[in-house]
Chain A
Amino acid sequence: MDLLAQVLINGVLLGGLYAVMALGLALVWGVLNIVNLAHGAFIMLGAYLAWHLYTYLGIDPFLGLPLTAIIMFCVGYALQRGLLNLVVRAPMFNTLLITFGLEVVLTYLAQLAFSADFRTINPPYAGNGIALGPLVVPLARLMAFGVAAVLTVGVWIFLLRTRLGRAIRATAQNLVAARLYGVEPRHLYAVTFGIGIGLAGAAGSLYGTVSQINPYIGATLTAKCFAISIIGGLDNPLGVLVGGLVLGLIESLTVLYVGATFGDVASFGILVLVLIVRPSGLLGKTA
């Protein structure tokens, strides 16, 4: 019973982190209709950025998170403005391919710059935990979960309440009409992609504190983000949070009861099932 409770705690904490990883992917996908295959690579870059800030400048990964997010936002803005805006209206294959090409380029650049060694961000409190009777809540994971929850709700409020957020949602619904109301799509697309990449950078700094990083983690993370976006739907950041929690719990429970090698079977099996039964996501509107 204690074991089950401990696994549930770990699953929920992992799920929060998953949610913030997938948030940027879902936003870009929903608004720009680009499935960004390089999303995981940007999470990887964010993790390396946080690692460098911590190792060479001594900036704590949680305090350095806004800085990482802002730097990654600028990278994302420039990339969309300079490159992706050129192909944003092309057929789906082409946008998939160009982001795949970016993934390859980023992975190789990371390998050249940072070498293939495993790195971890190890602040002094990394091993600490809060004891709850027989259970332990790992402190770093709890903090990562808290930041993830704040970011998710923050993005939700931003999209719902602010002028820029409304413009983004309007563009997602109808580009022509949004343009008629004075939205400048080149800038707005770049801002949206920048926010997506900024969130990936934030997720990367959190990921670096709870897991190992190397240049090749991107592809797997992208696949997980896909699964979460599908389970949660693209309409609403809170759906993505639910998707992340579902995936975190399912993975943890499968590893406990069925075996470690079945973790991916469960998450992708659920993904296929959800797609077949409810193509717009568990919480999405029925098409």
Chain B
Amino acid sequence: MTASRLGVAVAIVAVVAVLATVPLFSSDVIVQFGINALLLAVLAQGWNIIGGYTGYASFGNSVFYGLGSYGVAIAMVQWNLPFAVGMIFGAGLAVAFAFLLGVPVLRLKGHYFAIATLGLAQVMSAIVSNIGIAGQNIGLVLPPLNNDHLFYELSLGLLVIATLTVFWLTRSRFGFGLIAIRENEEGAAVMGVNTTLYKVLAFALSGVFTALAGGIHAYWITFLDPDSAFDISLNVKMIIMAVFGGPGTVLGPVLGAFVLSAVSEILSSKVTNLAGLFFGAVVVAAVVLMPRGVADVMRQFRTAGWRYFVENLRAHRI
């Protein structure tokens, strides 16, 4: 058991090392695809903390993303501060938001939580487009930094930290508390878990990673406006990637983000106007045939074979 775990750890370190050297010998296109895929993986991993482990389907993570983007943009453009300070400012905004609005919103359950957070994202976008310091609905232009290698390594570093954090969740008291809340919130409260505190902390933790990814993306793209910063479809993307890969697993969301980024990249270069159609169809098929994600398929397929898909079909139909 420990030997196999050691093997997995060594393999992961090797993969990260290979990924880190990719920019040295790849074309600009690959590096740019890599930055996008890595940032999406961070977003999926961030969503995994609140959605996968705590069981609260947040549609408000795009708020964190927007706050992170605007944190960096406002700090750099309006106050002439360095990028790192902007990142801290953006993460701070996300934590403040998680604490202020998390307390009332996290009282809601199921669909209601999902929709309340969806509403928050819409409201934030409209509010930001009326704030002078955020450039209103015109947006902000950041000073350009033409260094894709740096952005690539930053994104990779952030993904590693996010994944290690999720790994820590799977073996810490805090993480067990979150899983207990997901499985049975009343039960968790009876067992002495401070559910409100744990949920808000998970929301904030999820928010910090999402905000940092937003900050890197803003500085890389050098432009942002309220519609793209608080884009709901980005939030839907994180959920799809996390659920496609396997929510509530350490590596599932990362895997889901990589696979789906690659699929949509290949599709949009081969069959441009059908790409969206295929993407939708892949999502539909995945939900029907592998509702617990790629991570679960990889675990079960060896023993169950093709029957695995048939079993999934049987499990949820009426």
Q: Does B305 contact A (CB under 8 A)?
A: no
A266-287 residues at the B interface, CB under 8 angstroms: 268-269, 271-272, 275-276, 279
CB distance from B41 to the nearest CB of A (A): 18
CB distance from B261 to the nearest CB of A (A): 16
Complex contact B122–A268 (CB within 8 A): yes
In-complex Cβ contact of B112 among A102, A112, A279 (8 A): A279
Q: Does A251 contact B (CB under 8 A)?
A: no
Residue among A104, A185, A186, A223 with most chain B CB within 10 A: A104
Please give, as numbers and ranges, the residues of chain B lying within 8 Å of A108 by CB-CB distance.
274, 276-277, 280
Complex contact B318–A185 (CB within 8 A): yes
Q: Does B313 contact A (CB under 8 A)?
A: yes
- Once A97-B240, A102-B280, A262-B130 are accepted as A-B contacts, the answer to whether A86 and B288 lie under 8 Å apart by CB is yes
Please give, as numbers and ranges, the residues of chain A lying within 8 Å of B32 by CB-CB distance.
none
Q: Compute how far the CA of A86 lies from the CA of B312 in the bound complex, rounded to whole angstroms.
A: 9
Please give, as numbers and ranges, the residues of chain B lying within 8 Å of A103 by CB-CB distance.
280
Please give, as numbers and ranges, the residues of chain A lying within 8 Å of B127 by CB-CB distance.
265
Complex contact A276–B105 (CB within 8 A): yes
Complex contact B280–A94 (CB within 8 A): no
A89-116 residues at the B interface, CB under 8 angstroms: 89-98, 100-105, 107-109, 112
Stretch with Cβ within 8 A of A (4 or more), from B113-121, B186-194, B203-211: B113-121
CB distance from A26 to the nearest CB of B (A): 12
Q: Does B104 contact A (CB under 8 A)?
A: yes
CB distance from B113 to the nearest CB of A (A): 9
Q: Does A148 contact B (CB under 8 A)?
A: no
Q: Does A49 contact B (CB under 8 A)?
A: no
Complex contact B316–A92 (CB within 8 A): no
Complex contact B318–A186 (CB within 8 A): yes
Nearest chain A residue, comparing its CB with the CB of B52: A93
A64-94 residues at the B interface, CB under 8 angstroms: 83, 85-94
Indicate the size class of the contact surface on chain A.
Answer: 35 or more
Q: Does B202 contact A (CB under 8 A)?
A: no
- Once A92-B110, A227-B119, A276-B107 are accepted as A-B contacts, the answer to whether A101 and B281 lie under 8 Å apart by CB is yes
Q: Compute how far the CA of A101 lies from the CA of B274 in the bound complex, rounded to whole angstroms.
A: 14
Q: Does B216 contact A (CB under 8 A)?
A: no
Count of A-B residue pairs with CB < 8 Å: 142
Complex contact B105–A96 (CB within 8 A): no
Nearest chain B residue, comparing its CB with the CB of A277: B104
Complex contact B291–A87 (CB within 8 A): yes
Complex contact B318–A271 (CB within 8 A): no
Complex contact A87–B276 (CB within 8 A): no
B77-117 residues at the A interface, CB under 8 angstroms: 104-105, 107-108, 110-112, 114-116
Complex contact B287–A94 (CB within 8 A): yes
Please give, as numbers and ranges, the residues of chain A lying within 8 Å of B119 by CB-CB distance.
227, 268-269, 271-272, 275
Q: Compute how far the CA of A103 lies from the CA of B277 in the bound complex, rounded to whole angstroms.
A: 10
Q: Does B273 contact A (CB under 8 A)?
A: yes
Q: Does B170 contact A (CB under 8 A)?
A: no
In-complex Cβ contact of A102 among B122, B243, B284 (8 A): B284
Please give, as numbers and ranges, the residues of chain A lying within 8 Å of B107 by CB-CB distance.
276
Chain B 211-242, CB-CB to A under 8 Å as 1, else 0, gives 00000000000000000000011001001100
Complex contact B115–A88 (CB within 8 A): no
Complex contact A107–B287 (CB within 8 A): no
In-complex Cβ contact of A101 among B111, B273, B284, B316 (8 A): B284
Give chain B's interface residues, CB within 8 Å of chain A: 51, 57, 104-105, 107-108, 110-112, 114-116, 118-120, 122-123, 125-127, 129-130, 137, 232-233, 236, 239-240, 243, 247, 273-274, 276-277, 279-284, 286-288, 291, 313, 315-318
- List the 3 shortest-distance A-B pairs measured between CB atoms, nearest first: A104-B280, A101-B283, A105-B280
